[in-house]
Structure 1
């Protein structure tokens, strides 16, 4: 029996060989485990790099290939361009975006007419004026009709745009009008007196502090601003009269800045009838298929702009650190 065999001494050659074999086997296992772990780590690094390349590639594809999500369609259809929210530079309802959408829609041979789908409380008269002028130019160039369809609101600068359309259609509960101009602000002089705050303002130029909220109003400057607002208001009125023509039933309140319901707007000639996007496409344009030409900012464009801004800031601060002035 094995129990009766004498135990080999530590110095015995057989014992040393057995120990050596066990150590070698253990080291081999550890080595192979380490190699497997390294291979696994390399595969994950490769996968993550490929994933990042795919994300970057998708972003560039969006930047260079996706503009409005619309391509030329040869079959007859109604082209729609949405004007939503504030009308201002740097937003979706900016003149840059809307005019780009208009050009694409007018140039598409399949588009029988263009519908402006409007839901906006207004905004910049400059942006609205640019869009109004471009609608007039493109209509004359391509011979296509433009219709405005109002959802909730078409006020102020939004109505400035709609006035260039060949027809304006509203819901009976839409809010339409607000043909006026405003410039607002706050005055803190009374509060400053109560708190014992002294305004220390230095300017070069008699009117440089025009409408400063921490200084008392100057009657001469206020009159100047009022003249400027009246001039812009007159431009707005001219655009409405030119666009609406004999359909407009002008009253002393028409250009007072009041807003009317859709039903009242139709009665006063500010709109042509009740209707929706679908009904106008079906009954007015006679092309029931609707294609959206609205130019929207996609994720790729937004990332590219943010990346460009970051690079620009880096260049600016680097130039400052080197004593270079950017002019």
Structure 2
């Protein structure tokens, strides 16, 4: 096992106007992702407070506008798949409906309308909603692979919950993509996992689970076969991973796995809600058979606004430098989140 958790501490000194301009030293951290080496910055945001945001006015306003995903409108306003992918036009599984994306940013792009309900508050998100929606997205991906395996080699399922996370519509939905090339971050994960396997003759993700269990600082718990931990080098606030060791492709995922993944996500989402993290991004990562050393995992990060109603939690550090940052220690979040598991 060769997992290393490396961080550096930086001390910044200034003359404090709140204390007669006496010298004051503040410590920030730079952490290095154990797999990719990507840096993450953790700094003490002055008087940082997560504000509770009431979505009610925004939701009520959205109900007065056109929503293509609502009952009675979806079948008239959304596109259908070509017959080689879905002869029935749209894919329906339980309460979820899979439709083509009108604005595709990959060769194969679809949306999973998770429910007929226009707005689902965080406290009402449940295991069945998530598991069934993932199941519907995987069904679409399996059809695409069967139709065009060469152009559908790299797959992803993502979730933008509410506007702070980039959700363009209130109505809950997932983004499902398949294409010939992985995203930049996916490519980094795949290559680094393969390199780790070649160098250490072991699977990084399994080693990571064991390392985090042994040190106990960030390991949160388990739902079925899925292990949950807070990321050592978080990509954003409340960065939590659920790892399914020993599995890497969508063929490997079982119904039990989907339920286990959904159960853990529900616990994290409840924690977010209790701590005024009122929006989030999530992604389910998997790869193909030829990419060895990988493990299926889901990753979820909270999203917020720095100031009430205005501002963004994304800055030039992420957009221009690809340096993730957060204001809360993963170890602090892990200790609180353990109670939920």
Higher gyration radius (CA): 1
Q: Same fold (TM over 0.5)?
A: no
What TM-score do the two structures reach when normalised by structure 1?
0.22
More helix by share: 1
Please report the TM-score for the alignment, with normalisation by the length of structure 2: 0.21
Going by fraction, where is strand more abundant, 1 or 2?
Answer: 2
